[in-house]
Amino acid sequence: MIAKHAIEDSIPYLKPTDKVFFALELMEEFKVFHLPVVENEKLSGIVSEEQLLEVDEQFMLKDLNFPLLKIAAQEHLHIFDLMKLGYESTSSVLPVIDKKENYLGLISPKSLIECLHQFNFARQIGGIFVLEMDMIQYSLAEITRIIESNKSMVLSVATAEVEDVFDKIAVTIKVNTLDLTYILASFERYNYNITHVYHHAEQIDHLKDRYDSFMNYINI
């Protein structure tokens, strides 16, 4: 999955000749705090609601005396790198450009979540558990071997630093089975520290309802 496949078609861009009040109205209508400014199919930059609220609403964008935010995603950027770029930026949307810096569209949080939903780890029901370990102990090959020895498959693995402990990581694992009894027993046998488990079958309908409600919300 790449950036150009995550473009949100419904949100428009601004032109340098648009007035400030029009830009603010669009931001309000589409529930965003930033919009790209495009001239002759080229991305000029991103303007923010915060900036626009400080100037006369009759000004045209081209007459603003502050610089536009310069950030964009190349069209072939992978969605995981896209998430990193979005996290590191201060913008609520990410413009997408091609190699010639032509503007292709923008990515919103809604469109990003919809793209993530296409991955099996997001839409397939399964058990989730978290291991905490020393960084030097981490071995994806060994974790996968233990899971597959219990006739299950890894759907996703995510690592994160343990807060305030520089040499430990938390490893969140999702597998394609709800019953983690034997898998967890195997990890305990190998002296892994299991800190969280989410695999109760009776919770699945509730979680699915919450997920469906969330997807409906972002589609409003």
pLDDT in the model for residue 211? 56
Same fold, 3-116 and 120-213: no
In this structure, the number of other CB atoms found within 10 A of the CB of residue 140 comes to 12
pLDDT in the model for residue 187? 96
Which of 2, 174, 10, 28 lies closest to 85, judged by CA?
Answer: 2
Domain ranges of the chain: 3-116, 120-213
Per-residue pLDDT of the chain (220 residues; tens, 9 = 90+): 788 888 988 899 999 999 999 999 999 999 999 999 999 999 999 999 999 999 999 999 999 888 899 999 999 998 888 888 888 888 889 999 999 889 999 998 888 877 776 766 667 788 999 999 999 999 999 999 999 999 999 999 989 888 888 889 999 999 999 999 999 999 999 999 999 998 655 455 555 565 566 556 555 5
pLDDT in the model for residue 50? 93
SS3 annotation, 77-106: CEHHHHHHHHHHCCCCCEEEECCCCEEEEE
**Could you tell me which CATH number the domain at 3-116 has?**
3.10.580.10
pLDDT in the model for residue 182? 94
pLDDT in the model for residue 210? 57
**Could you tell me which CATH number the domain at 120-213 has?**
3.30.2130.10
In terms of phi and psi (left: phi > 0; alpha: psi -120 to 50; beta: otherwise), the region of 12 is beta
pLDDT per residue as tens digits for the range 57-79: 999 999 988 889 999 999 999 88
Task: Say what the pTM is.
Answer: 0.67
Measured distance CA(188)–CA(174) in Å, rounded? 17
In this structure, the number of other CB atoms found within 10 A of the CB of residue 40 comes to 9
Which of 193, 195, 149 lies closest to 175, judged by CA?
Answer: 149
**For residue 2, what are the contacts with CB-CB under 8 A and spacing of at least 6?**
75, 76, 77, 78, 79
pLDDT per residue as tens digits for the range 117-144: 676 666 778 899 999 999 999 999 999 9
